[in-house]
Structure 1
Amino acid sequence: DTWWQSSSLAMGDHFQQVTLTIDLKQVYQILHVRVRAGPSPRPGNWILEKSIDGGDFFPWQYFAVNSDECQSKYGVKPTHPGHIQRVPGQPPCVTAFSKVSPFEGGEVNVGLTQGWPNGSLSSPEVAVHTNARFIRIKIQKLSSHKFEKTRHSHGSDLVNRFYYTIKDILIQGRCNCSGHASRCPYDLMLDKSVCECTHKTMGENCEQCLPLYNQRPWRAGTPKEANPCLKCECNGHARSCRYDPAIDGTLASDGSFLGGGVCISCEAHTAGVNCEKCEDGWFRLPGVLPNATKPCVPCECNLRGSTGFCWKDSSEIHMNRLAGVCECLEGFTGPKCDRCAPGYRGFPNCTRCDCDLRGLLPGSLCDSHCVCKPNVEGKRCDRCKPGYFFMEQPDGAIECTECYCSGLKVSCERAAGYSVNEFTTMEGWQVCDLSTSYIVQPYNRFPKSHQVSIADAQMTGLESYYWLAPPPYRGNKLTSYGSTITFSVSWDFMRGDTSGKE
């Protein structure tokens, strides 16, 4: 049999302090440490310590010959090994393993995962507490009282028998793979165990997600939750992504909106958190999906007449913004901004015409003279013809409207304080008989539409019934002369009904 043995204390009292350091070559999660003595008693006062970098060591557990030593040396109340309650930053102190007996082969067992309120090996506090690369045994005092009596006795050889021995040290642990590996085989080339990471993780300890799997923050795996990394949706145009908590709720590859993945360095001229848009100066044709191999094509804008940008897709087609249509500078128009806008002339310079744009005919050229709207005249199209006056329309345009003076006059001018308003509301409409003695409220089958309906059964006993307009449509409408009211009437045939009424 072999064992390690320290120098005899006969060579000096300073040999009571002995430090042994074990380098495991990499970080492991240490679960259990067993130290077995050789042909000598176990040490008295000593500390079991751990370190990640070999520089800063932290105590795992204190050992003392008695309760007073726990208090005086380590400032900790003694604890029975079977009742240890571990608290981060508060190592326990035990006295059961510092007895003189047995004289040979005594063991010290330390279970580092026992006594935690949360017994999970993957809980953060247990992981921090048990992860270590370096393990240090820091011996400070013998367990034998005889040494104190004999160390000053001259001629006694008993002091030569005071030393420490360790027959073996058993360290049980597992690879520090953050709960994302089931195997960590030893690699001869690297001279260490290597985690075989799963759950789309990577790194020496599976401590990070794969580049394209950062839809949500990395989390350690537990026996109950695998916590795999979730893939970002980059439509095939990025090789990595990052998690941004500020925009949590972006599209993931599984179609959900869990997490906040942001694609990094979108390719194929794409942009956006999911590489779902085209970059400036490029656009996606209608019908082309964001995940197409080459989804974006360059804008074909005239450089003199445009900003160089075009609408990137058809998502705003309801606002008449078609994909690929260029953003024009003032005085230019057309899908490519390659011609002069109304009121401008001389492409490619497109200088402003000396015309009143309110009276200029839309789409007309003004190279030689101004082309006026109907009922507009003047060299600059800046006045109405006799018998007409300027009236502003709901869309902001100005038209020359015919005068209505009840035959008393031919000419007129615009009255101050009046403007054209358009009524489209269906609120307040009712259905009644001719004398308005019987009134029924219609119903709106489609609340967002401008229509109301009435069922024939609601007007039982009436051969004819009429729509009764609300106040905004009735009364003195002399100022509405020249405007129109547009409506449509429809009915449904019910099964078996031939009356033509709803």
Structure 2
Amino acid sequence: MLWAALLALQGVCVGAAHGMQHYPAAWGHYDVCKSQIYTEEGLAWDYMACQPEAVDMTKYLRVTIDPPNITCGDPPETYCALENPYMCNNECDASTEELAHPPELMFDFEGRNPTTFWQSTSWKKYPKPLQVNLTLSWNKTIELTDDIILTFESGRPEQMVLEKSLDQGRTWTPYQFYATDCLDAFTMEPKTVNELTQRTLLDIICTEDYSRGYVWKNDKTVRFEIKDRFALFAGPRLHNMASLYGQLDTTKTLRDFFTITDLRIRLLKPATGATMVDENNLSRYFYAISDIKVQGRCKCNLHANTCVYDKGRLGCECEHNTTGPDCSRCKRHYHGRAWSVGSYLPIPKGTANICEYYSCKEIAMICCGDTTDIAVEIPLKCSSGTVKVRTGTIGPLQKHPEHQPQKETTRVCDNAMLRCQNGGTCHHHQRCHCSAGFTGVLCERARCSGGECDGQSSGQDPLLLLLLQPMILVFLLH
């Protein structure tokens, strides 16, 4: 008996492990941004792509109801049941806590008895449409990681649109249309998410799956299916995440599809449960939502593993020498390479694409992309891209403790503006003393005699150096 019980327990454990292998977290872990490793030169940082953990994002949103007086209770109102127009024992009164149904009850802890919910006024102004906009705003870019789920306490709407914004609500695009009759409501053929393919994943569809009028026991929810869309690349059990990650890395429109700053739920027609509205019992028709679920994470461009909520705002705690609410730019003095979003690939660590501390090696080049306090700028090209020549004064460049000093091919004079080339050294801390075979203010030219040169040119553009010489001399005289 004991042996049989152990075998049965082993089977349960194996089955659970097998199930977990086939149902990984939708976006992987990527929870570490960097770690220290030993190299031949000693301790060094190993940087990895990283992102915050997916959480319930409704904890951090602000909700707006439009029109603002559409919430029930002022004045108090009595409602009838949709399925029974003669059962009218539901009261809404904003002045009484037990009878009030404010918007925040869409986001409170579910499981209470009786159920808490937001509720609109009834359709007492029929035939004027009963329409409500519920806007959820985060004031921060977030990435959706699971289905958006709305749970209705009343009948599910017969017509509804879910919309998204990527620019703090300035512009809106549809996510999905919902109707009992898509062709009649939106002149769209009905579809389901199961009919989508990789090529049509970004199509906006109208579905009739979530618009039944009456409240059945298991038919209170309306979904926007995120995981079913993930599955088009990652497989039905999301086991091939590398495929999804590859698509997200290379296709901006796909990344943007799952990225939002705001959601808007446009309730266009309440459940009626029939083809005709009963004008003698308009208190049967209203909207009521008991719960909204939005699972996601702060978008940090794979440069942070923590997102904090401070003073009513979400923000990434940026790593990889990046900064900004979404870690979308390099920190000051870290423009040695252009900013880039991190990459999920190769799995499991990804590619951090860190911003690197710069070290300018050109004549009087300061900041490699940092244009702060530049008086006169002349764009040049160096290995890190377009940089600026500064003719004003600055202090010496500081080396960051996380970075090893660069091996310099030229000597630097004490004023940090003049770099002698081709082995030249600073003379009296302000002029270059050139080695044999070279001449010029910066030892930039090979010394020539009889049409032949003793040394090789430094590769600088002679016309550019000729233009820069007066500015350098003026700077040295000051």
Instruction: With the length of structure 1 as denominator, give the TM-score of the two structures.
Output: 0.48
For 1:229-265, what per-residue CA distance to the aligned partner results, in whole angstroms no more than 9, with x for missing partners? 2343225987632299x977x34xxxxxxx4252563
The alignment yields a C-alpha RMSD, in angstroms, of: 4.2
**Equivalent of residue 175 in structure 2, options 49, 57, 60:** 60
Amino acid at match of 1:203: G
| Structure possessing the higher relative contact order (Cα contacts under 8 Å, 6 or more residues apart) | 2
SS of equivalent residue, structure 1 residue 313? coil
- Residue 40 (structure 1) aligns with: 154
Give 1:191 shift: 2.0
In the TM superposition, 1:4-15 aligns within 5 A as: 4-15=118-129
How many Å apart are 1:95 and its aligned residue? 1.3
Q: Number of aligned residue pairs: give it.
A: 289
The answer to whether the 8 Å contact 2:307/2:316 transfers is yes
Pairing partner for 1:284 from 405, 413, 420: 420
Q: Distance in 2 between matches of 1:275 and 1:87?
A: 57
Alignment match, 1:25:
139
Task: State which of 295, 301, 305 in structure 2 corresponds to 1:172.
Answer: 295
Paired residue secondary structure (1:91): coil
Partner of 2:258: 130
Q: Which runs of 5+ in 1 are unaligned?
A: 252-258, 301-309, 323-502
Q: 1:260 corresponds to which letter in structure 2?
A: G
Partner deviation per Cα, 1:184-219 (whole Å, 9 max, x = no partner): 1222xx322221212222111111122333344322
* Matching residue of 1:228: 354
1:176 and 1:311 mapped to 2: Cα distance?
Answer: 52
TM-aligned CA distance change 1:275 to 1:184, over 3 Å: farther
3-state SS in 1 of match to 2:342: coil
User: Which whole-Å deviations, capped at 9, do the CAs of 1:276-308 have from their partners, x for residues lacking one?
Assistant: 8889x967398567xx9x9961589xxxxxxxx
Indicate how the Cα distance of structure 1 residues 198 and 287 shifts in structure 2: closer, same or farther if over 3 A, else same: same
Q: Which residue matches 2:89?
A: none
Structure 2 equivalent of residue 97 of structure 1: 210
Change (3 A) 1:7 1:212: same
After superposition, the C-alpha distances for 1:438-480 in whole angstroms (9 at most, x for unaligned) are xxxxxxxxxxxxxxxxxxxxxxxxxxxxxxxxxxxxxxxxxxx
Which residue identity lines up with residue 34 of structure 1 in the other structure? I
The yes-or-no answer on 1:82 pairing with 2:194 is yes
Assess if the C-alpha contact under 8 Å between 2:162 and 2:266 holds in 1: yes
Distance in 2 (CA, whole Å) between partners of 1:268 and 1:286 is: 24
Checking the alignment, whether the CA contact within 8 Å between 2:150 and 2:289 is kept in structure 1 is yes
1:174 is displaced (CA, Å) by 0.9
CA distance in 1, matches of 2:420, 2:395: 10
Shift in Å, 1:180 = 1.1
- Specify whether residues 167 and 242 from structure 1 end up closer, same or farther in structure 2 by C-alpha distance, changes over 3 A only: same
How many Å separate the matches in 2 of 1:220 and 1:15? 45
Task: Report the CA distance between 1:131 and its aligned residue.
Answer: 2.7
Deviations 1:39-86 (A, max 9, x none): 3221121111112222321111111213424xx61x543222334347
Looking at CA atoms only, which structure, 1 or 2, has the larger radius of gyration?
1
Structural mapping, 1:443-482, within 5 Å: none
Name the SS for the 1:119 alignment partner. Answer: helix
C-alpha distance in 2 between matches for 1:10 and 1:103: 25
Name the CA distance, whole Å, in 2 between partners of 1:131 and 1:242. Answer: 29
Contact persistence 1:199–1:226 (CA under 8 A): yes
Q: 1:223 is matched by which residue type in structure 2?
A: Y
Farther off after superposition, 213-222 or 77-86: 77-86
TM-score by length of 2: 0.51
Change (3 A) 1:103 1:6: farther
AA aligned to 2:331 is: L
- Output the amino acid matched with 1:151: D
Residue 355 of structure 1 corresponds to none
Map of 1:135-146 to 2, 5 A cutoff? 135-146=263-274
What's the counterpart of residue 340 of structure 2? Answer: 219
CA distance in 2, matches of 1:283, 1:34: 59
1:26 partner SS: strand
Against the structure 1 CA distance between its residues 78 and 296, is the aligned structure 2 distance closer, same or farther, given a 3 Å change threshold?
Answer: farther
SS at 2:138 equivalent: strand
Distance in structure 1 (CA, Å) of the matches to 2:354 and 2:145: 25
1:284 counterpart letter in structure 2: C
Distance 2:410 2:312 in 1: 42
User: Which digits, 9 at most, give the CA deviation of each residue in 1:112-162, with x for residues without a partner?
Assistant: 46256673355421332233222110011234342x43424xxx43x3211
Q: Shift of the alpha carbon at 1:220? A: 1.1
Residues 9 and 16, structure 1, Cα contact 8 Å, conserved in 2: yes
Specify whether residues 84 and 16 from structure 1 end up closer, same or farther in structure 2 by C-alpha distance, changes over 3 A only: farther
- Tell me the amino acid that sits aligned with residue 212 of structure 1: H
1:207 equivalent in structure 2: 328
- Cα distance in 1 between the residues matched to 2:212 and 2:148: 16
Work out whether residues 41 and 164 of structure 1, in 8 Å CA contact, stay in contact via their aligned partners in 2: yes
CA deviation map 1:88-115 (0-9, x unaligned): 8731221111123544661122234625
Letter in 2 for 1:98: S
Aligned partners of 1:295 and 1:176: how far apart in 2?
53
The aligned runs of 1:24-423 (5 Å cut-off) are 24-51=138-165, 52-69=167-184, 73=186, 75-85=187-197, 87=200, 90-103=203-216, 106-112=220-226, 114=229, 119-120=244-245, 121-122=248-249, 123-146=251-274, 148-152=275-279, 156-157=280-281, 159-187=282-310, 190-224=311-345, 225-234=351-360, 240-242=367-369, 250-251=382-383, 259-260=384-385, 262=387, 265=390, 284=420, 297-298=430-431, 311-319=440-448
